[in-house]
Amino acid sequence: MANGDIHTQPYGSRWVNKVEGNSRPSNIHDTKDEAQREGREMAIRNKVEHLIHNQDHWVEERNSYRPIQRPGRAEFALWPECRAALALVRVEPRRSRTQPTRVPSVQTQLRLRAFLASLT
């Protein structure tokens, strides 16, 4: 678990949101629903995970609000298989909502399938 994740957990007869790495709770609530709502907002604001514990302190739900990491253009260019596969298929962007997306020809699709099968 990364530092900064938000844990919604029981604290005596009340519920708290605790930021991972901190020794004290960030906020205290009377009900689990209130604590969950506040914990979710904190996790979204901080772009971290929100872990919801049950009464026995076991994690029953885990939600991630971290941004999705996708390979950048430079990293993608390093994969020769990807470059070769993209060379076989040329898809043009759709110009408007009414115009359909261009689909590769059957021959190009077959060459792409054969190429991808040779990678495995």
Q: What is the pLDDT of residues 19-28, one digit of tens each?
A: 999 999 999 9
- Amino acid 109: pLDDT: 74
Using CA atoms, how far residue 18 sits from 6, 14, 48, 50, 92, in Å, is 6, 13, 13, 10, 48
pTM (2 d.p.): 0.57
Amino acid occupying residue 106? V
* Cβ atoms < 10 Å from Cβ of 104: 14
Q: What is the pLDDT of residues 28-85, one digit of tens each?
A: 999 999 999 999 999 999 999 999 999 999 999 999 998 876 655 555 554 555 656 6
Q: What is the pLDDT of residues 77-114, one digit of tens each?
A: 545 556 566 655 555 555 555 555 556 677 777 777 78
